[in-house]
A and B are shown apart, each in its own frame.
Chain A
Amino acid sequence: MSRLQTRFDELNQQNRAALVTFVTAGDPDYATSLAILKGLPEAGADVIELGMPFTDPMADGPAIQLANIRALAARQNLTKTLQMVREFREGNQTTPLVLMGYFNPIHKYGVERFVADARDAGVDGLIVVDLPPEHNPDLCHPAQAAGIDFIRLTTPTSDDKRLPTVLEGSSGFVYYVSVAGVTGAGSATLEHIEQAVARLKRHTALPVCIGFGIRTPEHAATVARLADGVVVGSALVDRIASAGSTDEAVEGVLDLCRELSAGVRGARQ
């Protein structure tokens, strides 16, 4: 059984949602980013999304755009991101780790080589923003053949006609982007989220995680009552942006992660 499935099964038995955290690999530099990554599980992250930096993150808002710029300035690349996953796996065999980003760096690295190296490094899943199901042969199929989950983004524009296409062949979990927009902007009403989850559940048995615009423990807790997972990204990344030192960046992210985790864990009690 995959790490993602094991983790969601465990959480389901505990009757609580997953806290899914996003940070960009190499932000603000390799060592600091690795320290954050290693600290996340203990700070309460149930699933980790690790961003693969790209010069043109056209689905991201200002916070994650800046995270990409910081990471690239520190010379992060896909080889180093996979190295980071390997180093993380030396001390952690249970927390699922999903790489998230855009296709071009993977295309340049070579799909076949990337899939093999990602699997060997201990990557559990991929979220590639600019690869809709129309392009499944590009990466989704090779990744799944190697046992790596391919996680789909569904959005408020994914109607009942579109959903089966999006969900077919998706695995791991389903990421519901709760607002039409870029990362970090706006937030959906609880009513919207409730309806969206109900609709997705009619189409899939996979866990449904909600993201975009969730910033506080309170907000995370309310969403955790409605869905199988809560994704927080920009708010964590902002802690890196505002830190005065690398130690402060690590502590800032992990502190917020602990608070979010407390919110998610207490949500259904």
Chain B
Amino acid sequence: MTSLRTGPDATGLFGHFGGQYVAETLMPLIHELAAEYEKAKTDPAFAKELAYFQRDYVGRPSPLYFAERLTEHCGGAKIYLKREELNHTGAHKINNCIGQILLAKRMGKRRIIAETGAGMHGVATATVAARFGMQCVIFMGTTDIDRQQANVFRMKLLGAEVIPVTAGTGTLKDAMNEALRDWVTNVETTFYLIGTVAGPHPYPAMVRDFQAVIGTETRDQMMAQEGRLPDSLVACIGGGSNAMGLFHPFLDEASVKIIGVEAAGHGIETGQHAASLNGGVPGVLHGNRTFLLQDEDGQIIDAHSISAGLDYPGIGPEHAWLHDIGRVEYTSITDQEALKAFHTCCRLEGIIPALESSHALAEVFKRAPTLSRDHLMVVNLSGRGDKDMQTVMHHFDEQEEHL
């Protein structure tokens, strides 16, 4: 069998997806970054330093926790939670940030920029920038700033400058445009710390590699606890970094069913969603060819999701490819379904999940009851929900009626 884990090719393509669709100003730097990353990958000193920070700073490995009460509740598959929400800064985002900042240090860059949606990547970036004494500028849409006030304050506490982006709908896509504009302007001094498995090559592969620690640990932990591989994996997808991190080490295991969960917002049929694979078509944006929400003229359509971290009209190119070849099944969950799953997890496990991760949980609650009791299902609990209190409070009264 040909391995599904060897991509991308030398030009950054996963099948027909990926590539390096950026302004010429950035091309020399992107080539330099790709070359430096290739060197770092095989440098034992880099691996050692990365492992040190993963263990003692991030708190890895994160537990693979048997969710007994959720399992009882569903009455089917045995549900395990990969507890990425226990990482320092409360989400999987830091895995990638630590890797990239070590690379920035190697390249002699002293200024870090990043885009953020929910603010989790912004917080993780501000955190590592503080730790390594680098200047940090975070671009965040004004809509997201309004719904994620606590994270904005956290970033400022950590010494980052948060630049509000008013263009477009003031969400993640617009923040990414503005970060690219800054990068083009300050290309000599600045390292762009992209938070997801998207953007020009080498970002999709590099971010995936830094996040693959999730899947690698899961594999070892499941072998230790159950003596075999899991039967299915479930993760939510905005850009797709937590999902790719969990999925990638299992892509060649034909027995493992893999499910990615997009945000269906108010429902895909309403047009107000963030499901690029289920409701979009291929196009080119932010440095890569992938599935995008766009109109008949090729103009990008604003995504909608209750969860700011999934509110993006594109998806990482490797997911586009895995969708294309059918290795991963991509489904979608609405705002309401995610909220309901959020409450269920809070009440039954005493764990407040991020609204992003609640999409994955909702999918698990649909599937698990139909599966046998020896089916081992792993869901990536990619982040904790503290940041979502405002949003959830807003919907709380309505939600109470459902419970």
Contacts and interface: CB of A to CB of B under 8 A. Distances in A.
B28 A157 contact: yes
Interface centre among A59, A109, A153, A154 (most CB of B within 10 A): A59
A105 B21 contact: no
A107 B297 contact: no
Given A105-B299, A108-B296, A180-B188, A59 B283 contact: no
A135 B21 contact: yes
B185 interface: yes
A54 B27 CA distance: 22
B286 A108 contact: no
A107 B177 contact: no
A61 B284 contact: no
A58 B180 contact: yes
A103 B19 CA distance: 13
A104 B20 contact: no
A132 interface: yes
Contacts of A59: 23, 25, 180-181, 184
A198 B324 CA distance: 48
Contact of B185 (A78, A104, A182): A182
A162 interface: yes
B102 interface: no
B184 A104 contact: no
A129 B281 CA distance: 22
Given A132-B22, A155-B24, A58 B168 contact: no
Contacts of A54: 298-299
A130 interface: yes
B285 interface: yes
Contacts of A182: 181, 184-185
B270 interface: no
B28 A58 contact: no
A157 B183 CA distance: 12
Interface string B285-304: 11101001010111110000
Contact of A55 (B21, B168, B188): B168
A32 interface: no
Contacts of A156: 25
B11 interface: yes
A180 B299 CA distance: 26
Interface string B163-200: 00001100001001100110011111000000000000
A181 interface: yes
Contacts of B294: 104, 108
B95 to A, nearest CB: 27
A191 interface: no
A104 B298 contact: yes
B23 A130 contact: yes
A56 B23 contact: no
Interface string A39-80: 000000000000000111111110001000000100001110
A90 interface: no
Interface in B255-299: 281-287, 289, 292, 294, 296-299
B283 A135 contact: no
B348 interface: no
Interface residues of B, number: 39
A102 B300 CA distance: 12
A-side interface mostly:
loop
A234 B370 CA distance: 60
Contacts of B286: 56, 58
A158 interface: yes
A159 B21 contact: no
A16 interface: no
A55 B293 CA distance: 12
A55 to B, nearest CB: 5
A264 B185 CA distance: 28
B29 interface: yes
Contacts of B181: 58-61, 182
B24 A158 contact: yes
Interface string A129-163: 11110110000000000000000111111110110
B27 A162 contact: yes
Contacts of B177: 56-58
A56 B174 CA distance: 8
A54 B25 CA distance: 20
A108 B27 contact: no
Contacts of B22: 130, 132
6 contacts: A59-B184, A105-B297, A105-B298, A132-B23, A157-B28, A181-B184
Interface of B: 11, 19-29, 167-168, 173, 176-177, 180-181, 184-188, 281-287, 289, 292, 294, 296-300
Given A106-B298, A153-B25, 7 more contacts: A72-B299, A77-B297, A107-B289, A107-B298, A108-B283, A152-B24, A157-B29
In the A-B complex, the 8 residue pairs with the smallest Cβ-Cβ separation, listed nearest first, are: A108-B298, A105-B298, A77-B297, A181-B185, A155-B25, A58-B177, A58-B180, A55-B300
